[in-house]
């Protein structure tokens, strides 16, 4: 077992759901160190140098901080590791060196935990705002003049001005600054007699990067994103077109945050940022080295896939209703599993649309034979999901959407493994009753990206289906 003290990870695998995995059942020494480091501690850089580590609060995501084969990577991680090198120049003995200790926390808790002494730096692509500046101190920006720009699919008709957004549907993350600025633009359209923008707000559990992937697949036509993020991802997602000349907002600044009583730390960070601005380091981060083998989502409402859905719709509606589920979410799960292809067989023996093993379907908790039959296959998948929900996810504190996230994770990785991750989340001071930005962080550490991507992709496909059917209904109503 290889301990990574930067994040408190234990590099281990759990090859079967029924096996005992000490890395999940008990706290490793690295996990214990992480818990100790999260205990409140204050002081400036001189005290951090005495204790030999600086705690960096980061938000788990797909750009700023993520895991690649169990190791921390990402925009903020790579940049701050360069800061660690500069901080330790001239320190030859390993015992004298200061280590950066990265602690993933939910984005909306970053500044609170920073002020409470649970970290020393908050690094999560934070935009400097007057409200935030009243709570914390910001370094000088490491990215200045940030633009929020329109991003389209490559096949989308050319746009020459922001007025081309009039009457269009734009999908952006709920609660983001993109929503605020699109609303301001739409109000200007209303006053000038132009049709308003149809702002679709995606579940905040999905990131801007998730929405960019949906645009790349063709499932969504338009979104808005920070230009530097969209540009980086366009190098990987070849169907993205970043419309840099179409900015809904300009002049933003992104910086790191510290507690107000840390002038030495601010001075040290500012000296580093002055020498390592955007372009000299950040612009050279190659995300392709982490995501080159990633399986990107495809368009679930393409003509070919719509034809399959038409043939199966009645079955999905029937069994979703029987087990009190959203039929489009069940379709999204089937699409993630097999592309709605009943002929699909996995190397492990999983069968059909819902990619179940016959042994799972035949178990008394499901009790359905011959899942080579399409109807039996969809029925078995829905019934197994209902079993996961009723047996493992009965906590009244969880809302339905969160229960579905955990059920999907359990369907993919096994319910016992997810149960152990929830136990570890509690020990690691994460919320065991929240998947996104909490238990999914541990899934990425302990299992890898498969289960994390599985849950995220189903959420993305469900949004794509709902947007498609809503658009169809609106079009029918207009006629």
Of the CA atoms within 13 Å of residue 183, those in its CB half-sphere come to 9
pLDDT at residue 17 in the model? 44
pLDDT at residue 175 in the model? 76
pLDDT at residue 448 in the model? 87
* Residues composing the chain: 479
Q: Kindly report the pTM of this predicted structure.
A: 0.80
Ordered mean pLDDT values, 10 residues apiece, the chain (479 residues): 37 37 47 68 94 92 81 87 93 89 85 95 90 94 92 96 97 87 97 97 85 95 94 90 96 94 97 74 51 74 90 98 98 98 96 97 96 98 98 93 98 97 90 92 90 96 92 74
pLDDT at residue 32 in the model? 62
pLDDT digits (tens, 9 = 90+) for 168-191: 999 998 878 899 899 999 999 999
* Delimiting residues of CATH 3.40.190.10 domain(s) in the chain: 2-143+254-291, 144-253
* Delimiting residues of CATH 1.10.530.10 domain(s) in the chain: 303-478
Judge contact between 222 and 152, C-beta under 8 A: yes
Q: Does domain 303-478 have CATH number 3.30.420.40?
A: no
pLDDT at residue 22 in the model? 40
Cα angle for residues 430, 431, 432 (degrees, 5° grid): 110
How many whole angstroms separate alpha carbon 126 and alpha carbon 112?
14
Residues assigned a catalytic role: 337
How many whole angstroms separate alpha carbon 381 and alpha carbon 368?
10
**Phi, psi angles (nearest 5°) of residue 258:** -135, 170
Topology annotation, domain 144-253: D-Maltodextrin-Binding Protein; domain 2 (3.40.190)
How many whole angstroms separate alpha carbon 109 and alpha carbon 96?
32
Q: Taking the domain 2-143+254-291, which CATH number applies?
A: 3.40.190.10
pLDDT at residue 24 in the model? 42
Question: Which residues fall within 8 angstroms of residue 216, CB to CB, at 6 or more apart?
Answer: 153, 237, 238, 239, 240, 296
Radius of gyration in angstroms for the set of CA atoms belonging to the chain, rounded to a whole number: 24
pLDDT digits (tens, 9 = 90+) for 343-387: 999 999 999 999 999 999 999 999 999 999 999 999 999 999 999
pLDDT at residue 333 in the model? 98
pLDDT at residue 39 in the model? 80
């Amino acid at each position: 077992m290889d301990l990574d003290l930067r994040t408190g990870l234990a590099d281990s695998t759990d090859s079967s759901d029924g096996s005992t995995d000490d890395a999940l059942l008990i706290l490793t020494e690295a996990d214990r160190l992480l818990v100790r480091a999260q205990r409140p501690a204050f002081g400036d850089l001189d005290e951090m140098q005495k204790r030999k580590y600086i705690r960096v609060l980061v938000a788990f995501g797909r750009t700023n901080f993520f895991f690649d084969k169990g190791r921390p990577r990402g925009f903020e991680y790579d940049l701050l590791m360069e800061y660690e090198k500069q901080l330790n120049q001239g320190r030859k003995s390993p015992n004298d060196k200061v280590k950066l200790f990265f602690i993933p926390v939910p984005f909306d808790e970053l500044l609170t935990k920073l002020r409470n002494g649970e970290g020393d730096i908050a690094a999560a692509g934070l935009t400097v705002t007057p409200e935030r500046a009243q709570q914390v101190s910001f370094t000088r920006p490491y990215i200045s003049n940030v633009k929020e720009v329109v991003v389209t699919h490559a096949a989308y008709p050319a746009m020459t001005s922001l007025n081309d957004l009039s009457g269009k549907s734009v999908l952006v993350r709920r609660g983001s600054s993109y929503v605020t600025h699109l609303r301001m633009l739409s109000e200007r359209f209303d006053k000038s007699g132009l049709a308003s923008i149809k702002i679709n707000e995606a579940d905040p559990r999905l990131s801007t990067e998730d929405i960019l992937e949906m645009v790349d697949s063709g499932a969504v036509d338009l979104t808005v994103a920070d230009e530097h993020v969209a540009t980086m991802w366009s190098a990987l997602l070849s169907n993205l077109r970043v419309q840099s000349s179409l900015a809904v907002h300009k002049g933003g600044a992104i910086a790191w945050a510290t507690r107000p009583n840390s002038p030495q730390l601010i001075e040290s960070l500012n000296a580093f940022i002055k020498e390592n601005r955007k372009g000299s380091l950040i612009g050279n981060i190659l995300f392709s080295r982490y995501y080159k083998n990633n399986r990107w989502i495809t368009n679930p409402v393409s003509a070919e896939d719509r034809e399959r859905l038409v043939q199966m719709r009645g079955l999905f509606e029937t069994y979703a209703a029987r087990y009190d589920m959203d039929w489009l979410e069940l379709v999204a799960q089937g699409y993630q599993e097999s592309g709605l292809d009943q002929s699909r067989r996995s190397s492990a023996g999983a069968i059909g649309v819902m990619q179940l093993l016959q042994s799972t379907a035949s178990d008394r908790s499901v009790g359905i034979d011959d899942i080579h039959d399409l109807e039996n296959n969809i029925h078995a998948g829905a019934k197994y999901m209902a079993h996961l929900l009723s047996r493992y996810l009965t906590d009244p504190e969880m809302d339905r959407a969160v229960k579905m996230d955990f059920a999907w994770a359990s369907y993919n990785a096994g319910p016992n493994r997810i149960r152990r991750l929830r136990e570890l989340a509690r020990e690691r001071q994460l919320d065991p009753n929240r998947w996104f930005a909490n238990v999914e962080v541990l899934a990425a550490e302990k299992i890898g990206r498969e289960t994390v991507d599985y849950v995220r992709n189903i959420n993305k496909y469900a949004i794509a289906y709902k947007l498609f059917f809503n658009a169809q209904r609106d079009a029918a109503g207009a006629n």
